[in-house]
Amino acid sequence: MKAGYSLTQIGLHWLVALLVPVQYLTGGSIERTHHAVHMGMTPSHWDVVQHHLHNYAGMAIGLLMGIRLALRIIQPPQTRPSGTWAGRVAAVLHHAFYAAIIAQACMGFVASYFWFGIAQYHVVGSRIILGMVALHLAAAAWHTLIARDETVDRMVFPRRKRSAQEL
Ligand code: HEM
Ligand code: HEM
């Protein structure tokens, strides 16, 4: 295994981290748009724009997380000595993140284009992901402010290529 993450993995991580808040800012517009249509009114232009933004940004997030997952399988990161409880908790949360975000994007896609009945689970998913993001941020803050280790640096600076001597 190689230490840390590649530039591509880091770039994808921060792109997803930027796009996820967009989903929370735009999610509410969808109910308002649907409500207006059901009441026979014209939905506000800005709500329709946000609805489109939510759908396309959400699909992009699902795709980017899928690429990240494939890259992770091809280039497994060495994050910390395996076997520690913190390492195991982090690994579980990271894997759960891939599953939750990809499932969330799939549910949103199905709700928008095939079967709206699944929307209630998409709303529940958004609460679960919010909790996971809070835990993730708390862990990052703990590593930086209390443990003062290199965890956040790993997601900022790409791993160095190993020299022939190290291999
Ligand atoms: C990981 C990506 C996504 C996240 C984090 C996310 C998050 C959210 C949030 C926070 C809401 C508002 C929930 C509420 O009313 O309290 C929402 C609603 C909704 N989203 Fe997403 N979303 C994602 C992807 C998508 C995608 C890809 C689509 C469609 C292509 C989509 C379609 C919808 C729909 C139709 C609703 C309305 C549900 C309802 O009002 O019952 N979402 N989403
Ligand atoms: C909502 C958006 C975010 C999502 C979905 C997300 C998801 C992930 C995932 C799945 C990993 C594991 C990478 C892997 O090993 O394959 C990870 C790692 C990491 N994330 Fe995030 N993240 C988000 C936001 C953030 C933010 C805002 C920070 C900043 C404080 C952050 C800091 C980190 C760090 C430092 C790691 C590396 C952990 C390690 O190597 O042990 N993430 N993130």
CA 145 from chain centre, in angstroms, equals 23
Percent of the chain exceeding pLDDT 70 equals 91
Cα of 13 vs centre of ligand 2, distance in Å, is 6
User: Does the predicted model carry a pTM greater than 0.75?
Assistant: yes
Q: Ligand 1 pocket, 155 CB below 6 A?
A: no
Residues, the chain, total?
167
Local structure of 58: helix, strand or coil: helix
What would be the CATH architecture of the domain defined by 2-154? Up-down Bundle (1.20)
* Separation between Cα atoms, residue 28 and residue 140, nearest integer Å: 28
H-helix or E-strand spanning residue 127 = helix 119-141
DSSP 89-118: HHHHHHHHHHHHHHHHHHHHHHHHHT-GGG
Local structure of 77: helix, strand or coil: strand
Would you tell me how many other CB atoms lie within 10 Å of the CB of residue 2? 13
Read off the pLDDT band of 92 (50, 70, 90). very high
Burial 133-153 (b: 16+ CB within 10 A, else e): eeebeebeeebeeeeeeebee
Q: Ligand 2 pocket, 79 CB below 6 A?
A: yes
pLDDT at 166 over 50: no
Q: Ligand 2 pocket, 154 CB below 6 A?
A: yes
Lowest mean pLDDT among 38-47, 54-63, 87-96: 87-96
Which residues, 6 or more positions from 7, have their beta carbon under 8 angstroms from its beta carbon?
158
Q: Ligand 2 pocket, 34 CB below 6 A?
A: no
